[in-house]
Amino acid sequence: MKKSKGFSLVELMVAMLLGLLITGAALQLFLANQQSFALQQTLSRVQENGQLFVRFLVSDLRRAGLERDGIAALPPEKGIRFTLSGTVPGSDNGSDYDRLTLGYHGLSDCEGSVVSDLTEVVNTYFVNSDAELVCQGNLTGGNGVVLLDGIEAFEVLYGIDENKDGYANVSRYVEAGSQGSSPVIAVRFSLLLREESNSLPESDGTRKFYVLTKTVDEPEDRSVRRIFMSTVKMRNYQWDAV
């Protein structure tokens, strides 16, 4: 008798099973890589957006208090404005989010409005009801320009010099309204930025984020959160008051 050639039914079933296992493993690897890529994209986006805002605000703070000849002098507090008349609010430590207002002599505000002659530019940074960080300028009276969204905390502290020894050294950091008559020579700000990500498992809600003087409890969701902070030494302040 001649031996039959080809594969037996058992061999075919084993081959099919091995093929399914290999296909399943490859599919799992593909999905894992896809989730990892999506998570990395979200992390990069949060990091980039946060760093861009920090650089933007640091640059604006370094201009705060800048005075030019041929124009009315700035108020005694110079760069940081705690009280203002008109529609633009001053710096404040609100119950939900802080507000930062600064002024200097210039030709354009943070909204991109431009004037032909030097004037006092006042920019106010605040978080609106949609959790967007907005900058409102004073030149055209607009509603402000959105710089970031997904803001869960925005806190600002002011470094004051209480020694009056002729050296600009920070004695302590205080909230808006607690600076008294001491000059502000530094500003420290921090924000908590959030972006949703389906690539993360749902949080158990036990983590806490410490944003300067504010503590934020992490909700049970699937979001990426990052804290950004910077301290800026003021370049223009009341030299005769330190």
* Domain parsing of the chain, residue ranges: 12-241
Does this model's pTM top 0.85? My answer is: no
For residue 239, what is the DSSP state?
G
Backbone torsion region of residue 114, taken as left when φ is above 0, otherwise alpha when ψ lies between -120 and 50, otherwise beta: beta
Q: Greater confidence, 169 or 23?
A: 169
Cβ(152)–Cβ(131) under 8 Å?
A: yes
**CA–CA separation, 149 and 229 (whole Å):** 17
Closest CA to 82 of 21, 160, 195: 160
Residue 239 pLDDT level (bands cut at 50, 70, 90): confident
Tell me the HSE value of 178 on the side-chain side, using a 13 A CA sphere: 9
Closest CA to 109 of 126, 124, 92: 124
**CA–CA separation, 37 and 84 (whole Å):** 47
Residues 120-137: tens digit of each pLDDT: 899 999 999 999 999 998
Alpha carbon 34 to its chain centroid, in Å, reads 28
Handedness of CA 81, 83, 86, 92 (dihedral sign): positive
- What pLDDT sits at residue 54? 96
Residues 35-91: tens digit of each pLDDT: 776 667 878 889 999 999 999 999 999 999 998 887 877 776 778 888 766 555 666
Residues 161-204: tens digit of each pLDDT: 988 888 888 999 999 888 888 889 999 999 999 988 776 777 77
Enter the tokens of residue 207: 């983590």
Question: What's the start-to-end Cα distance of the chain, in Å?
Answer: 111
Query: What type of residue is 149?
Result: D
- What pLDDT sits at residue 52? 94
HEC readout, 58-81 = HHHHHHCCCCCCCCCCCCCCCCEC
What's the Cα-to-Cα distance from 172 to each of 48, 182, 186, 190, rounded to whole Å? 31, 11, 10, 17
